[in-house]
Structure 1
Amino acid sequence: MASIMTNTSAMVALQSLKATNKALDVVQGRISTGFRVAQASDNAAYWSIATTMRSDNKALSAIQDSLGLGAGRIDTAYTAMNNVIEAVDAIKTKLINARGASAENQEKIQAEIDILQDQIKAAAVGANYAGTNILATDNAGPLEIAASYNRASDGTVSIGTISVELAGIRLFAADGTTTDATQHLAHDVMQIDIVANGDDANIDAYLKDIETALAAMSTAAANLGSAKNRLDLQKDFVSNLMDSIERGVGQLVDADMNEESTRLQALQVQQQLGIQALSIANQNAQNILALFK
């Protein structure tokens, strides 16, 4: 039936054209943004997951910064500790030379030892990094370094840390003084004075103290080296984890540009055909006029 009141063909063609235009808008939006899920209305579940994962990646970026600061502190302390060990080794050599030497020569040797003691103190007190010094410090507790950001299956989060014990590493107090060898590794080394105590027995006692200090400092340097390796490994892990999360987010929300470009071309053809179909449907009403001529 031909009707001038209701053009069914035009209505169908218009609905089809509207659907094509809507799909075309979606594809153009994906191409312009690069996302197939750019907002919650696109896919609420994927958008929520991606938002949480992006938030976690920002937290991991802060963790990476913390690890970098921690590694810098440890590396600075390790470098200074090695310098201190070299100076203590030099003092040991001076003490051996001083054994049995004349008082005049011992005074000269002590002057050299004084310089080495000053170097030990300068190296420790100067080992600052980002306002932190773990060789010359009053802090007896462990150095806590944020190392991981963990999200449990129930959504709760926690911060994992790497602890570096300072009790066996400290050389001086923050003001550059020492209390005793149990609190500050450099205490016995800084007490050496062969001008006041230059007989063989005292020098032998000093040498014994030097060996004890060297052993403790070597252990401290080894612990610092291990801590730095641990931090470096964790930095690499966090970096790889961030890349994995970024890839995971991309798989959820990124648009496949090859697919979208192909779909765009198909929809553009459908749009042109829809416009043509609507034009033909509208011409049907004009054809009815011919019946009355």
Structure 2
Amino acid sequence: MSLNSVNTNVSAMIALQSLNAINKEYAQVQNRISTGLKIASAKDNPAIWAIAQNMRAESKSLDAVMSSLQRGQSIVDTAVSAGTAISDILTQMKEKALAATEAGLSTASKQALSDEYVALRKQIDTIASTATFDGVNLISSGSAGKIRALANTKATATIDIDHADLSTTGSVISPILANLTGGVASADIDKIDAAIQGVSSALSKFGVGSKSLDRHLEMTSKLQDTFDAGVGNLVDADMAKESARLQALQVKQQLAIMALRIANQGPSLLLSLFRQ
């Protein structure tokens, strides 16, 4: 093909191809700068995009795990606060029971002590029945409330905290006296001591469970950060590098436009050959 042709301008075709390639790359760099991503869709790099998308899904799933762990923490914290209050009440009840063992105490004084004792006993049930968070109560009468917090994104592992009945009908506190009007023996004091120890034991188990939730929540948070950083390593654009490329492409684009303009002038220059 002749280079001196008015029908086919090869130089212009080459210049146009170069300009189109530069414009395509320029648009790609602009997209990376505007989105902050070097791989924004599957067409940019199918394999890497698929890996990043899977990691994003795993990271989002960890949100559900962390939410479950945090819910468990709140339930345990509520139970521990209420259980501590019950333990304090039992200590006061022991004080009243000991006072009632004093020889020569008047009937009126014994009745007053008993009334206080009974009021404290009722308060235990009030506290136990209201220690609820999100519908779960770990210390209420019965054994319905428990924690089964998610430990992984496959729902195949959980962190378990079981119920402990700290009401006056439960096995821990029910052996103590209902009132002090019938007299108080040393065995009755021992039963209150046993109840205090039982409540302390239940609270200790709650504390162990709470620590497990705390540790797993911290680990899950770090794992999620690792996933997010991994996704960033795969798909995030190097903004400094892209900025430099943008500047270079702007220069190349201007040069390509100039080259195309010169190439387009070629056929008109041939007219000078026919002038006399």
TM-score range, shorter chain: over 0.9
2:173 corresponds to which residue?
186
Structure 2 counterpart of 1:22, from 18, 21, 24: 24
1:215 corresponds to which residue?
197
What one-letter code is carried by the residue in structure 1 that aligns with 2:38? R
What one-letter code is carried by the residue in structure 2 that aligns with 1:254? D
Structure 1 counterpart of 2:236, from 230, 254, 260: 254
1:43 corresponds to which residue?
45
Equivalent residues of 2:89, 2:120 under 8 A apart: yes
Structure 2 gap segments, 5+ residues each? none
Inter-partner Cα distance in structure 2 for 1:7 and 1:223: 86
Equivalent residues of 1:194, 1:203 under 8 A apart: no
What one-letter code is carried by the residue in structure 2 that aligns with 1:224? F
Equivalent residues of 1:144, 1:163 under 8 A apart: yes
1:117 aligns with 2:114: no
Q: 1:147-226 to 2 correspondence within 5 Å?
A: 147-149=151-153, 157-166=154-163, 169-172=164-167, 178=169, 181=171, 185-189=172-176, 191-195=177-181, 197-198=182-183, 202-226=184-208
Inter-partner Cα distance in structure 2 for 1:273 and 1:233: 60
Percent identity between matched residues is 38
1:154 corresponds to which residue?
none
Inter-partner Cα distance in structure 2 for 1:48 and 1:23: 23
Inter-partner Cα distance in structure 2 for 1:141 and 1:271: 69
- Secondary structure in structure 2 of the residue aligned to 1:287: helix
Structure 1 moving runs of 4+ over 4 Å: none
1:90 aligns with 2:92: yes
Equivalent residues of 1:192, 1:206 under 8 A apart: no
Count of residue pairs the alignment pairs up: 271
Equivalent residues of 1:73, 1:129 under 8 A apart: yes
Inter-partner Cα distance in structure 1 for 2:165 and 2:179: 22
1:75 corresponds to which residue?
77
1:57 aligns with 2:65: no
Q: TM-score, normalised by structure 2?
A: 0.92
1:236 aligns with 2:218: yes
Distance apart, 1:141 and its partner CA: 7.7
Tell me the alpha carbon deviations over residues 26-85 of structure 1, each in whole angstroms, 9 at most, x when there is no partner.
111111111111110001111111111111122111111111111000000000111000
Inter-partner Cα distance in structure 2 for 1:192 and 1:208: 15
Give the CA RMSD over aligned residues.
1.7
- Secondary structure in structure 2 of the residue aligned to 1:188: coil
Inter-partner Cα distance in structure 2 for 1:15 and 1:137: 81
Distance apart, 1:142 and its partner CA: 4.8
Equivalent residues of 1:73, 1:128 under 8 A apart: yes
Tell me the alpha carbon deviations over residues 96-137 of structure 1, each in whole angstroms, 9 at most, x when there is no partner.
111133433221110110111122111111111111111104
Distance apart, 1:162 and its partner CA: 0.4
